[in-house]
A and B are shown apart, each in its own frame.
Chain A
Amino acid sequence: MSYTCTLGLRRYAFGNLKNLLAKASPARSGDMLAGVAAASEEERMAARIALADVPLARFLQEAVVPYEEDEVTRLILDSHDTLAFAPVAGLTVGEFRDWLLSDAADADSLQALAPGLTPEMVAAVSKLMRNQDLILVAAKCRVVTRFRNTLGLPGRLAVRLQPNHPTDDPKGIAASMLDGLLYGVGDAVIGINPATDSLPAITTLLRLIDEFREQYDVPTQSCVLTHVTNTIRAIDKGAPVDLVFQSIGGTEAVNRSFGVTAALLDEANTAARQLGRGSVGNNVMYFETGQGSALSANAHHGADQQTLEARAYGLARRYQPLLVNTVVGFIGPEYLYDGKQIIRAGLEDHFCGKLLGLPMGCDICYTNHAEADQDDMDTLLTLLGVAGINFIIGVPGADDIMLNYQSTSFHDALYLRRVLDRRRAPEFEDWLERMGIADYRGELLPQGATQPLLALAGRL
């Protein structure tokens, strides 16, 4: 099948679906670096016009990354649910956009549709959508997951407490953790990026959080974000593992560069589920992703970075994860150049993940060599809040002193709760009230000598 569009005297032809998707993608530095972006603004619009006419069913016949070469493609196509696809099977990409925006698409119909959609279909329709479309449709989706609390309920927003320290110093980590909890943060997960990959150090951190959680009966989950093979070893050694973390990407080759395969993830998922540590549910996987990872590993097959990102979600959904986090601005300006590109990518990732049925969160972030600042983060934070994001990241003062980048702060989460009336996970909300950290409305209370966490802080 050839894809063409004539604008005035000029006829644009696109050799295959992969090229068409790449040329239709909103401008970003990573696609230019890869040499797959549209050469002009007119070519980009021509690609979108041609893409709007492509039947959704075409995506089941023409793979963006070859089926024979790539296990992610095989997983996507082999697990496609034809019955679930039926309501939109006769639509083109352009008609699908209209359908998503229509009243026919609501929380229930979108949830039922998710297994019938492929990542490429979802990426394609996102390229025809404006930011407000991405927000409106995502806000209709509902993805609820559970481990020791319930995440993703309507009107709720959770936060990952990220108490990183450059040398994994237990007291330094505990200081940031207590600061976060006293700001009402930590319902999504208490998750540490360790500075080292050594198993004893990781086990020490796991025990540190787990003992604290047990002592104060905190209804949340913990995670040390190390390679999946380390987590499997930690489980074997009897360490208190709640969640299995892993970075994943949208091709078999990029996953190989991360040292993972679907079989390895299957093994880890099974091992963690068998521990049965969840109290209200057993979603045990925590994935992180981000546009540009496949290109940086030279594993992109000539596809655009947004389509490949959606394919990572195609892999993630196999595991019914508790959390999927797109770390949107971490990768640097050669992939997402400025605030505008980071904001767009964050909205796309959230939309695509939600449509595929995933519990999407976002690390709303940037590095100091990107053309972005706190104002851009405020904008994306607000937009994703409106779009109904499941969780965001909480770092003391937005400054991660271990990973050297800027994310969102505990204060940022309070801001979003205040302006959008978003509450914490219900179990965690109850705990904060029992601890006297917040009142029944979720508002922070003044703290004094009777606060048990302050007594703990005094003993550190």
Chain B
Amino acid sequence: MSKPAIVTPDPWLRLQSLTRARVALGRSGVSLPTREVLRFGTAHAQARDAVHQALDVQALQSELHEAGFNTCAVHSQAADRSVYLRRPDWGRRLAPDSADALAQQAPSLWPAAPKLAIVVADGLSSLATRSHAQPLLEALLPYFPELYRLPVVVATQARVALGDEVGHILGAEQVVVMIGERPGLSSPDSLGLYLTAHPRPGLTDANRNCISNVRPEGLPYADAARKLAFLIAGARRLGRSGVDLKDDSDSHALLEGDADLPALEATPPA
């Protein structure tokens, strides 16, 4: 004997093929059906875990080391996640012992005044960092074969602007911060890329260029690497990064017949 239908279905399921939005969910009385409450709860749980799970720095470093990169780990002035969420200003500065250690170790690990430094930062989603930073670095190798000798700094409790201080200490010409973005309900693992030329403390978002939503379901590694390499070359030509570079890179993209290059997102950094 089959059970009578308890949930009122929505006879417009077809709309689900037109959007990722949660349409045609049906209802139990006037409320959400159990299956949707569980589906939503799972998505929220994954997003929350992405925010709160600490980045496993040792594991990430050893993976990067095996892949051939020279890394070093630093920490911001935000002691833990709870402080990090309340004090974005502390997430933008290195802890004093980290700054000292970075300055001391740098000469033994990397050449002085590198053209490019990479900061791999946890940001608001360690899941994004752990999943996508290494594949993205490898996707960048065809553009930057010297990447194996350049600084790759793993940073925790970090905001985008932490890269300014790291780049400044290393004397880097440009810094790229690869950072976990604020997780969405259906995208807990988006990586953001921020390019800053002549990094030094005190710069603002206007000095950066951003590539957003890097993940296999969003902007795939190869496309992200191509866009980033393009921006890095553009910033080198222009002598600066930021708002001025955006228009320049778009017009170059068109000149090169690369019309399908997605528009660069100018979303504010974490």
Contact = CB atoms under 8 A, between A and B. Distances in A.
Contact of A368 (B24, B41, B44): B44
Size category of the B interface is 35 or more
A235 interface: no
Contacts of B88: 33, 334
Interface in A138-186: 163-166, 169, 171-176, 178-179, 182
B18 A172 contact: yes
Contacts of B10: 179, 182, 447
Contacts of B36: 397
Contacts of B183: 368-369
Nearest to B88: A334
A368 B30 contact: no
Interface string A279-300: 0000000000000000000000
A254 to B, nearest CB: 15
B21 A182 contact: no
A175 B23 contact: yes
B86 A368 contact: no
Contact of A373 (B14, B18, B20, B44): B44
Contact of A414 (B20, B30, B43): B30
B269 to A, nearest CB: 13
B19 A172 contact: yes
Contacts of B30: 411, 414-415, 417-418, 444
Contact of A334 (B14, B24, B86, B184): B86
A175 B18 contact: yes
Given A182-B10, A404-B185, A398 B21 contact: no
Interface in B95-144: 124
Interface string B28-58: 0111100010001101100110110000000
B87 A33 contact: yes
A179 B24 contact: yes
A33 B15 contact: no
A119 interface: no
Contact of A397 (B18, B25, B50): B25
A337 B21 contact: no
Nearest to A196: B263
Interface in A347-381: 367-369, 373-374
Nearest to B81: A369
B51 A369 contact: yes
Interface stretch (A77-85, A102-110, A237-245, A452-460): A452-460
A127 B247 CA distance: 48
Given A368-B182, A397-B40, A401-B21, A337 B14 contact: no
B93 to A, nearest CB: 15
Interface in B138-187: 182-187
Nearest to B27: A411
Interface of A: 29, 32-33, 163-166, 169, 171-176, 178-179, 182, 332-334, 337, 367-369, 373-374, 395-399, 401, 404-406, 409, 411, 414-415, 417-418, 444, 446-448, 454, 457-458, 460
12 contacts: A176-B15, A176-B23, A182-B10, A332-B182, A333-B85, A368-B185, A398-B40, A399-B22, A404-B182, A411-B25, A414-B30, A444-B27
